[in-house]
Structure 1
Amino acid sequence: MSMDPAALADRLGRWSAGRALAAALTVARGTVVAAYEELRLEGRILRRQGSGTRVAGPPRPGPRESTGAPVFLHLLEPREDDVVLLACAAPDAPPPALLAAYRRALARLEDITGDIGYHPLGHARLRRAVAEHYTRRGVPTEPDQVLVTNGGQQALSLLARAFVGPGGTALVEAPTYPGALEAFREQAAYVRTLPVGLDGFEGAVRDRGRRPDLAYVTATHHNPTGAVLPALVRRRLAAAAGAAGVPLVDDEVPADLAFPGQETPPPLAAYGETVVSVGSLSKSVWGGLRVGWIRAARPVIDRLGRLRAVHDLGGNVAAQLAAAELLPHVAELCGKVAAERRARHDHLRTELARRLPHWEAPPVPGGQTLWVRLPHGDGDSFAQAALRHGVAVLPGSGLDASGGSREFVRVHFLADQATLTTAAERLARAWTAYGAGDTEPGPPPSRALAV
């Protein structure tokens, strides 16, 4: 249905601005009004009664067949072939401690009465366990500062929806965890990058032209580089974020994965009240548990809780009770396998150095991945060649919102040493073929997120 230009101008708000623009462009006012309406329909401008019209940033995309995430769906699903999967870094089986925790949790379920099972903020027992987890680590925390989520990815999605809207800005490291990039892009946000460690952060949060709505960092065992921020850098980042009023999100999912003898600084939240901590048991226990959390100031948790309740009335109670059983012992559980993880890390680096001496694979103090620089070519095309030779690696371009890191691939070292040896052999053969011109197109990207 057509609309009278004057009525449309009333809907647009400040008609005088349209009159001025029309005069400047020497066009009819109706043309300007029509242009404004077209921009609104495309999602490029936002209008609110009494506050005029403002730029919304890039248009919101419609439904997509793919998130563009840099991993193939068949790398996450069960396979019948013998491809060695070094692309997705996560434990490949639930540990015995998880099974024991579930048995204790199921026993607790038998005693529950007067509880309909909906806990949008999380079960009280797990919220208390998360609060005690942070308090033990030097960050005094109360249960009402904790929101339980269905894994760390849901936590990032909630934070993106709460703080970063269309036309807003998320400040991230380059490279970084690709699931975070997808969460911010899903909100049609502009993603601004700084190097790993957020060097230049103070200037970025004071930038009046593009002040970030949220900043995201992995301070401990960074994914993918394995870096650990020193205490002084943590203090500086937290102080700058606090002074600018910018929420600083610290992804602590890999924080418990230190190698033996490696000390890590206190959590970033120990240095500032505006720090928002995201955690989960996906890397330290098992991804199938699907239990994560957000630790933040009470007003932030209240806001996120209201947002969560609109989309999800709460997580699986049995899983939360099992997580509450595990969390007091997570450091001990990780410590039991830390020596083996370091041995596998050392073994993979030795095999790569022997078979691919021109590759750069720096050691890391913990975590699960190596960030490998190729001497030439690019990670996207090499990943396709590697897959054809029976090993899956993650190309670096999908982890870098700046458009860089194309010469990198990410590989994990969680497999047993025999499997890692096989992987190195296949990578060497793939590299030889790649150097000889093996650059055939690989399979298309899927909906799956890299982990």
Structure 2
Amino acid sequence: MTSRLVAHLGAQNVAGATATALAGHIRALILDGRLTVGERLPSERSLALELRRSRSTITRVYGILESDGYVTRLHGGSTRVTLPRTPLAPDAPEQESAIDLSIASMDSTPGLYDATVRSLPRLAALRGTSGYSLRGLPELRDAVARRFTQRGVETSADEIIITSGALNALNLVLATIGRRGERVLVEQPTFPHALEALQRHGYRMLPTPVDVDGWDARHLTDVLLADRPHLAYLIPDFHNPTGATLPDLERQRIATTARSAGTLLIVDETTAELDIDRGWAPLPMAAYNPHAITVGSMSKIAWGGMRLGWIRAEPSLITRLLAVRPSFELGTALLEQCIAVELLADMPALTAHVRERLRAGRAAVIDGLDAIEGIRMPQTAGGLSAWVDLGAPVSTQLSLAARERELLLPPGPRFATGGVLERRLRIPITLPPDRTAAAMHRLRLAWDDLHGGTVPRPEELPQTAVI
């Protein structure tokens, strides 16, 4: 069985690498957070067998990592991931001055303040209650259900739970229906923290490819029928990170195949409302599969600081979710729920703001990448980001070079299951244009450093969440 380390490295990516280069690849995985502090690495013998290298080479690799402070080793025992204890070098970039492209989220909608003010009487009326709302405020569940109905799938409030964000919703679903050791179909690339949640619940990944041009629907349905995974996690609208949208015909085919295979669909609609100029609106996946579980969020359409999401599912599953939820959470903040009721009452204004901001952000990324020879910007009709083509497998190297230019930039493999996608890079289109222009300038400098051979060896790189 392939170890997590080799799955992230990709044996083909490090074939023939020197011990120093192989240590550098592993260090990059640690610094990017793909290998976690305290995680046990394969033994020298096991890693040598997996990579088809001599044991002396692997001994040298682990020795380099140990001397640099990235692993600890016990004689005759385990090798575990750690981080250097030395402080940052004096010339290391401060977090305050760095531009963080690991976060693809906009600032708040202009209507957030007014919605907050309008929500206060509703909040005041709740002061006589316990303050807990396990299922969510009835008026907010009604508003979320109406939005599903408007988009083409009849929904009642009984099919809705309000959660503290979409990732919280996913974890609640997995805590309720998860089965350790089972298989899950995931898109490649996909949202990294969803992968981490699935791994934490003991799932084995079955990747299916997605690119800016869309899904390989035949591959996806073949995997469903051949492997019959317990779950499939999909982002069909403005896919994160590619920006692709799954057409209605393919949605119907995949939804029908999943039902035949006995696979439960978990559909992430966090990005579903982030339209710029797609020109068409598909039906939600739940319209084609009544058993589909849908998670959504306000964070991308209103403000990242609003940690509020929802689950749409069959009433029988809602009952099970409500039984599990108190074990780790007693409900979602009432103030945020009251604000969300006001915001959802004026979706046209909210989506118009989103469209305007994303259009400006996309234009700024296009302008910035035009000045960098060799990076291709794909067509991007909406969503959080552009999934750019670097023309060569240099994403991790560019990410490390960008760090030296005070630019935090997760590499393509951060969005994959097995050390692949080194030709790709996710660039958010959600930042204000002036901030994006500054980021693209730093990216150009890092690109020049990389191709000029002046990239220094980094001594530290913080683990970053990718949003």
Pick the TM interval, shorter chain. 0.7 to 0.9
TM-superposition CA deviations, 1:281-314 (whole Å, max 9, x none): 1111111110000101111211122111221111
Q: Does 1:412 align with 2:431?
A: no
Classify 1:214/1:284 alpha carbon distance in 2 versus 1 (closer, same or farther; 3 Å): same
Matches of residues 63-82 of structure 1 in structure 2 within 5 Å? Answer: 79-81=95-97
- What is the CA distance between 1:186 and its match in structure 2? 0.9
Residues 333/315 of structure 1: CA separation in 2 closer, same or farther (3 Å cut): same
SS in structure 1 at match of 2:111? helix
In structure 2, what is the equivalent of residue 84 of structure 1? Answer: 99
Q: Deviations over 1:197-246 (max 9, x none)?
A: 36323222223xx4311101111100000001111011111111122221
Find the counterpart in structure 2 of residue 351 from structure 1. 368
Which residue is 1:205 aligned to?
224
1:214 maps to 2:231: yes
Q: Cα–Cα, structure 1 residues 87 and 442, in superposed 2: closer, same or farther, change >3 Å? A: farther
1:134 aligns with 2:148: yes
**Mapping of residues 316-395 of structure 1, within 5 Å:** 316-353=333-370, 355-395=371-411
Task: Give the unaligned 5+ runs of structure 1.
Answer: 1-63, 67-77
Q: Please, what is the CA RMSD of the aligned residues?
A: 2.1
Choose from 217, 236, 251 the match for 2:253.
236
The answer to whether the 8 A contact 1:174-1:402 is kept is no
SS, match of residue 263 in structure 2 = coil
Residue in structure 2 matching 1:297, options 299, 314, 321: 314
Task: State the match for 2:189 in structure 1.
Answer: 175
Report the Cα distance in structure 1 between the residues aligned to 2:442 and 2:126, rounded to whole angstroms.
53
Distance 1:276 1:198 in 2: 22
Normalised to the residue count of structure 1, the TM-score between the two structures is 0.78
Structure 1 position 109, deviation (Å)? 2.2
1:259 equivalent in structure 2:
276
Report what 1:101 is aligned to: 115
Q: Which moved more, 1:165-174 or 1:412-421?
A: 412-421
Q: Which has the larger radius of gyration?
A: 1
Verify the 8 A CA contact 1:225 1:370 in the aligned structure 2: yes
Quick check: 1:245–1:274 contact (8 Å CA) kept in 2? no
Residues 408 and 104 (structure 1 numbering): CA distance in 2 closer, same or farther, change over 3 Å?
A: same
Task: Report the Cα offset of residue 114 of structure 1.
Answer: 5.2
Q: Are 1:423 and 2:442 an aligned pair?
A: no
Contact 2:234 2:266 in 1 (8 A): yes
Residues 231 and 263, structure 2, Cα contact 8 Å, conserved in 1: yes
* Shift, 1:332, TM fit: 2.7
Report the CA distance between 1:445 and its aligned residue.
4.6
Out of 303, 309, 312, the position equivalent to 2:329 is 312
Q: CA deviation at 1:363?
A: 1.7
User: 2: CA distance between counterparts of 1:339 and 1:425?
Assistant: 23
- SS of the residue corresponding to residue 187 of structure 2 reads strand
Note the C-alpha offset of 1:409.
1.4
Whole-angstrom distance in 2 between the partners of 1:218 and 1:442: 36
Q: 1:412 to 1:105 in 2, by over 3 A?
A: same
| SS at 2:296 equivalent | strand
1:151 aligns with 2:151: no
Kept in 1: contact 2:291–2:314 (CA 8 A): yes
Q: How many residues align?
A: 372
Which residue does the alignment assign to 1:52? Answer: none
Question: What residue ranges of structure 2 are gaps of 5+ in the alignment?
Answer: 1-79, 83-93
Instruction: Answer whether contact 1:220 1:264 (CA < 8 A) is retained.
Output: no
Shift of 1:103: 1.6
Equivalent residue for 1:285, pick from 292, 298, 302? 302
- Quote the residue 1:190 is aligned against: 204
TM-score where L is the length of structure 2: 0.75
Distance 1:442 1:175 in 2: 28
Q: Distance in 2 between matches of 1:333 and 1:359?
A: 33
| Partner residue, 1:19 | none
Q: Report the alpha carbon displacement of residue 272 of structure 1 after superposing the two structures with TM.
A: 1.4
Following superposition, the deviation at residue 339 of structure 1 comes to: 3.0
Q: Kindly state the Cα deviation for residue 87 of structure 1 after the two structures are TM-superposed.
A: 2.2
Deviations 1:316-361 (A, max 9, x none): 11111111121232343121341342133123113212x2121122
Task: Give the SS at the match of 1:382.
Answer: helix
Deviation at 1:269, TM superposition (A): 1.3
Q: Deviations along 1:26-83, whole A, 9 cap, x unmatched?
A: xxxxxxxxxxxxxxxxxxxxxxxxxxxxxxxxxxxxxx989xxxxxxxxxxx9432x2
> Counterparts of 1:163 and 1:192 in 2: how far apart (Å)?
18
For the residue of structure 2 that corresponds to 1:322, the secondary structure is: helix
Secondary structure, aligned partner of 2:171: helix
Aligned to 2:14: none
